Chains A and B, each alone.
Chain A
């Protein structure tokens, strides 16, 4: 009787095993987080082209970057022969890739391309993919000077397969580049829209932009995260700024924070006169001690 009971218990367990396994497996897959993957196209000075993929996931209602996930980036087709690069995301969830020489011919062959980004399913995250279609474009930055007045002419052009054609109605930003990466507006605004000829003309009347020690300043024009053209940036150095001389004397001044060879005079005088005064007294007292010793020897003799 007892054996029969045990036997039926084993049967139940045997039949239930696949369900237990699959329910456990299902539980594991529901534990995996989904990744929100994005890919963007960047071009700097119209020739340095690169792609940036970013991976993030939702934690406690907020998107957080995902570190250490392998992202593959492809040109036009998500197959091995079209692989631009594969890399792990950094602490900011980013992967940067440039078009390798092997794909340069494919890149030059067409005016428009589609980029694919993919992540495989891993222990923690589900598989994810993203794509971005861009049309090749460029920004041309020209300058015209007439006395004190300088004009910046920005042209936005797209490649149609045969030639570069103007892009009308395109939103651009322009200004003076700053060392921290932002731009200083030429006038009261820093955003402009191209006209029907794909151009923006900005007259600069302001003359007091700070430049380097020779008065050179950096003109910057950029297009940011455009759905059709991506992000483009061009720069041009012009001698329109004020020459700003770095104050080298700042580090050579005598200060409390300076090196020991640049101690403030007042501190040197104060510290060393105190030290000299006190140690002078100590030396005097030691001499008195020697005097006492000599007196003792005289008495002995």
Chain B
């Protein structure tokens, strides 16, 4: 029995070890690097010539960068959902998804911070936030909570990785010299003693408890950046809950997309099964319904009252310049996922993958719709300003930088999956062992 267990364990380890890039992996990485380089060039132009290269002006002073920031913050929330909530609730089926969720969270929060610095125009002034920041300002709360969330997410990614690093150290030839050195540096001290496991388990539980309020804070504070400003479309007491529900949805959508990609290209069908897609599908549909509920609240109540000051903004969304984007975001991000995922056939891997993409794309546009139309509908009329100030469409530099940050986040995930096991090996082995013990006892 022990021998067959050992063989089984080795097979699992072999399946889950990080794999070198194949041809498709290299093309994928090359495309992402190219997009990043284009973004870097655009950012060089922005530094060289100033924010004038963007199409942000006096009124639309928050554009695609801030939309992207809100999107990244939203998607980063998934780390707390899958890892922390499921861990604390002892949801075993989610184990293969925890690391995917955590790396999405870490990469998203890194690029959320970067895009804010890009939006500042003068990056060297970032330090002023710490030198002269006022704790009364929600922007300061955001700075604090983002850095805190980053640290906790990093710890939550690193701690469960320690037992896997010990396993990786066994495969020096397969991993190569440099990666082996990296694994040694990061995890050679992990010997797998009972005491180490005890401390690690306890620390992970504390992290899971700590990350939930911090994750809620990160997106609530981001929503308060808007809600504490008296503007049409932002003046809402509901914004915190509205943002968090949307964040959970886009995060879950992101995990579904990543699940499908890793399953397909790393041949992990045995570990990320149709059952995982079915269960994630149910979660996505629940979150979509919840987000739909908050959307109805956010748009129907002001539309019912149709206060004069809000009328321009609402009509612009429903029937005006932003109507196409608005209904696209609602349809792709909410209606289609709800209708599709209510049926079992819709929760199979491929439809789930398509729905995941729709949710993520819809969510990106939704963030754009939260930020920009409001700025173009101030309470006081726009007078004696150039015609261009009345509209906003991002310049190529803005698009390039925004897309580069998205590509950058994907690149971080790609490299992470190249270096570390994307499915926790040790936890999979432990669960396998527990399952067999249960079977034997039965």
Check: B162 CB closer than 8 A to any chain A CB. Answer: yes
Check: B144 CB closer than 8 A to any chain A CB. Answer: yes
B214 contacts A260, C-beta separation under 8 Å: no
8 Å CB interface, A222-269 against B: 256-260, 263-264, 267-268
B155 contacts A263, C-beta separation under 8 Å: no
Contacts of B195 in A (CB 8 A): 295
**Quick check: which of B75-83, B127-135, B373-381 contacts chain A, the rest being far away?**
B127-135
**Quick check: which of A103-111, A152-160, A280-288 contacts chain B, the rest being far away?**
A280-288
A289 contacts B136, C-beta separation under 8 Å: no
**Residue from B132, B133, B210 having most chain A Cβ neighbours under 10 A:** B210
Check: B206 CB closer than 8 A to any chain A CB. Answer: yes
Check: B159 CB closer than 8 A to any chain A CB. Answer: yes
**Quick check: which of B186-194, B299-307, B411-419 contacts chain A, the rest being far away?**
B186-194
B196 contacts A258, C-beta separation under 8 Å: no
**Quick check: which of A6-14, A20-28, A271-279 contacts chain B, the rest being far away?**
A271-279
Check: B152 CB closer than 8 A to any chain A CB. Answer: yes
Check: A299 CB closer than 8 A to any chain B CB. Answer: yes
Minimal beta-carbon separation of B150 from chain A (angstroms) = 11
Contacts of B148 in A (CB 8 A): 275, 278-279, 282
Contacts of B199 in A (CB 8 A): 288, 291-292, 295
Check: B141 CB closer than 8 A to any chain A CB. Answer: yes
Contacts A289-B159, A292-B190 known; A263 to B210 CB distance under 8 Å? no
Chain B residue nearest to A282 in the complex (CB): B151
Chain A residue nearest to B162 in the complex (CB): A292
B134 contacts A259, C-beta separation under 8 Å: yes
**Residue-by-residue, is B157-184 near A (CB-CB < 8 Å gives 1, otherwise 0)?**
0010010000000000000000000000
Contacts of B29 in A (CB 8 A): none
**8 Å CB contact of A268 from B135, B152, B159, B200:** B135
8 Å CB interface, B377-429 against A: none
8 Å CB interface, B117-134 against A: 132-134
**8 Å CB contact of A295 from B135, B196, B203, B210:** B196
Minimal beta-carbon separation of B436 from chain A (angstroms) = 28
Check: A300 CB closer than 8 A to any chain B CB. Answer: yes
Minimal beta-carbon separation of B162 from chain A (angstroms) = 7
Contacts of B94 in A (CB 8 A): none
B193 contacts A281, C-beta separation under 8 Å: no
A275 contacts B144, C-beta separation under 8 Å: yes
B191 contacts A300, C-beta separation under 8 Å: yes
Minimal beta-carbon separation of B4 from chain A (angstroms) = 29
- Cα(A292)–Cα(B155), bound, Å: 14
Chain A residue nearest to B132 in the complex (CB): A260
Contacts of A292 in B (CB 8 A): 162, 189-190, 196, 199-200
Check: B207 CB closer than 8 A to any chain A CB. Answer: yes
Chain B residue nearest to A256 in the complex (CB): B136
Check: A178 CB closer than 8 A to any chain B CB. Answer: no
B135 contacts A263, C-beta separation under 8 Å: yes
Minimal beta-carbon separation of B260 from chain A (angstroms) = 33
- Cα(A285)–Cα(B214), bound, Å: 15
Chain B residue nearest to A283 in the complex (CB): B151
**8 Å CB contact of A296 from B132, B135, B159, B196:** B196
8 Å CB interface, A111-165 against B: none
Q: How large is the interface on A (under 10, 10 to 19, 20 to 34, 35 or more residues)?
A: 20 to 34
- Cα(A30)–Cα(B162), bound, Å: 89
Minimal beta-carbon separation of A129 from chain B (angstroms) = 32
B203 contacts A296, C-beta separation under 8 Å: no
Contacts of A286 in B (CB 8 A): 155
- Cα(A300)–Cα(B207), bound, Å: 28
- Cα(A291)–Cα(B200), bound, Å: 10
Contacts of B134 in A (CB 8 A): 259-260, 263
Contacts A271-B141, A278-B210, A282-B155 known; A293 to B136 CB distance under 8 Å? no
**Residue-by-residue, is A72-101 near B (CB-CB < 8 Å gives 1, otherwise 0)?**
000000000000000000000000000000
Contacts of A256 in B (CB 8 A): 136
Contacts of A260 in B (CB 8 A): 132-136
**Residue-by-residue, is A26-66 near B (CB-CB < 8 Å gives 1, otherwise 0)?**
00000000000000000000000000000000000000000
Chain A residue nearest to B149 in the complex (CB): A278
Chain A residue nearest to B155 in the complex (CB): A285
B196 contacts A281, C-beta separation under 8 Å: no
Contacts of B151 in A (CB 8 A): 282
Minimal beta-carbon separation of A255 from chain B (angstroms) = 8
- Cα(A278)–Cα(B206), bound, Å: 11
Check: A297 CB closer than 8 A to any chain B CB. Answer: yes
Contacts of A264 in B (CB 8 A): 136
A296 contacts B189, C-beta separation under 8 Å: yes
Contacts of B210 in A (CB 8 A): 278, 281-282
A278 contacts B135, C-beta separation under 8 Å: no
Minimal beta-carbon separation of A109 from chain B (angstroms) = 47
Minimal beta-carbon separation of B156 from chain A (angstroms) = 9
Contacts of A259 in B (CB 8 A): 134
Chain B residue nearest to A286 in the complex (CB): B155
3 smallest beta-carbon distances between A and B, as pairs: A296-B189, A260-B134, A293-B189
Q: List 8 A-B contacts (CB under 8 A).
A: A267-B135, A271-B135, A271-B144, A278-B210, A288-B199, A288-B202, A289-B203, A300-B189
Contacts A267-B135, A295-B189 known; 12 new A-B pairs at CB < 8 A: A260-B132, A260-B136, A264-B136, A271-B144, A275-B144, A281-B210, A282-B152, A285-B206, A288-B203, A291-B199, A292-B196, A299-B191
- Residues of chain B touching chain A, judged by Cβ–Cβ distance below 8 Å, are 132-136, 141, 144, 148, 151-152, 155, 159, 162, 188-191, 193, 195-196, 199-200, 202-203, 206-207, 210, 214
